[in-house]
Amino acid sequence: MRFAILVFAGICSAATLAPEKQGVLDHISADDLKGNLSFLSSDLLEGRDTPSKGLDIAGEFIASQFRRAGLEPQFQNAEFEQITPDMNGFSLTVNGTPVTEKLTIQVSGTVDIKDAPFYMVENAKPPSLEGKVAVLGIPDMTGQAARENMATYQRWLAATVAQHPAAIIQYTEGGGGGRRGGGGGRARLVEVEAAKATPATVTIADSAAAKLFEHKGTVSIHANAPTVQLAHLRNVAAIMKGSDPELSKTYILVTAHYDHIGMKTTGDGDRIYNGANDDGSGTVSVIEVANALATMNPRPKRSILFMTFFGEEKGLLGSRYYGSHPLVPLKDTVAQINLEQVGRTDDTDGPQVSTATFTGFKFSNIPATFEAAGKELGVKVYDNEKVGDSYFGRSDNQSLADSGIPAHTICVAFEYPDYHGLGDEWPKVDYANMAKIDRMVALGVMTMANDAKAPRWNEENSKTEKYVAAWKALHK
């Protein structure tokens, strides 16, 4: 009985929409979403690792779908170096004591440091570190304090790198999670210019390492030159120009990441991480929302930039690249709506049908716009007070927020079976529900794009302090 009442209420409220808006939303189809996602997360694409042939195929597919919507796609090309350290011959000694366990190294060339003094970095204003090895702890990145801890760590690390130390040693204050032996030689992706400026870094995944640096002393590090391969990566974008002479000069970003984590290197049976929900669901939703909004005549007043990012799973690489190489001026970008994990409804906290949430719900006034859109369409847009704030920094909205842009991620299920597992495949997605969520997204984007008032950060929320400061710096 309760289900029937909810469905009836959703139909009645949707019937109040203006016919032209309803006509736009009717272009969003569960079958279209299923067709696109069944290809994007198929075994053929081998888990869309960054970089990989499967990711390149996915990028071409997304571009073709933008063309189908009548939009002209753009490939934002980026060059990264894939750097694989050589663990053979690597050595680290602290005050003459060899350290051999739970190590990860990041080097761009041969390192040969002998008996260099080390300095423990304890704030974001270290003294001159020329010729010294800087040491800092990586704070606990779990729980409610994760976002604040991450922000503090990033400030300290940036200040440390700016002082040009001979090398950096960092250790995890929480302990555990370390890699032994050759595991410390895993490959990493670094933008070409950044690779030249980053000092050699050794990470010790053990809180006990702090005891090594309790007293002043010296450090010796030796590492052979790594293997370096050039990786050509692409964000895929399409701009829908607005209809208003002035507001069309401003932009709303509607985004998702189209990469996933690739394949298991060994083992029998299924070895492909298909990534249907994470984040194939967000990617096909961006395509579907673009296809629907492109039918509007006239178009929304503001311009809308649809974009899918590479390398989110490798550390928000594509969105951070966009933040430093924007296709449209950041000062003219009023908001980012990022879509992540919007297909599965089988959340570990219970089914999430006709519901969606925003990360950092109270960080800006953007969620209120979509909450109103949801009420018109029978979708409950709510604040997940349990994990919503802590997840704010775990997706591509973080990159634009750091630039000052009011930015959030919309999510249906934060935690679900098969997360980053081999079983995250397209048949497990609830396509009818995803279509309903996408209609809510499209209506919310329409509303923002036609509103002369730009979204704003909530300055009364202490958690937005650095984003507000970045926004003011962008607009001064």
Q: What is the pLDDT of residues 7-57, one digit of tens each?
A: 333 434 445 799 999 999 999 999 999 999 999 999 999 999 999 999 999
Q: Which residues pair with 215 in a beta bridge?
A: none
Residues 6+ apart with CB under 8 A from 258: 40, 48, 55, 58, 59, 62, 236, 279, 280, 283, 308, 309, 310
pLDDT in tens, 250-300: 999 999 999 999 999 888 999 999 999 999 999 999 999 999 999 999 999
pLDDT in tens, 401-441: 999 999 999 999 999 999 999 999 999 999 999 999 999 99
Domain at 86-225, CATH class: alpha beta
**Highest-scoring range by mean pLDDT, 13-17, 94-98, 208-212:** 94-98
Could you say which architecture CATH assigns to the domain 14-80+232-475? Answer: 3-Layer(aba) Sandwich (3.40)
pLDDT number for residue 127: 86
Question: What mean pLDDT is predicted for residues 346-372?
Answer: 97
Checking if the pLDDT of 195 tops 80, the result is no
What is the DSSP code string of 376-439? Answer: HHT-EEE--TTTTTTTGGGSTHHHHHHTT--EEEEES-SS-TTTTSTT--GGGS-HHHHHHHHH
Maximum CA pair distance of the chain?
76
3 state DSSP class of 93: strand
Domain residue extents for the chain:
14-80+232-475, 86-225
Q: What are phi and psi of 189, to 5 degrees?
A: -110, 130
pLDDT number for residue 143: 62
Please answer whether residues 228 and 83 qualify as being in contact, where contact means their C-beta atoms are separated by less than 8 angstroms: yes
Which letter does DSSP use for residue 180 in this model? -
Between 181 and 158, residue with greater pLDDT: 158
pTM score, whole prediction: 0.88
- Nearest residue to 63 (alpha-carbon basis) of 246, 259, 287: 287
pLDDT band at residue 147, thresholds of 50, 70 and 90? low
Share of the chain above pLDDT 70, in %: 93
Rg (CA), the chain: 24
pLDDT band at residue 142, thresholds of 50, 70 and 90? low
Checking if the pLDDT of 95 tops 90, the result is yes
Checking if the pLDDT of 144 tops 70, the result is no
Between 41 and 173, residue with greater pLDDT: 41
pLDDT band at residue 183, thresholds of 50, 70 and 90? very low
pLDDT band at residue 165, thresholds of 50, 70 and 90? very high
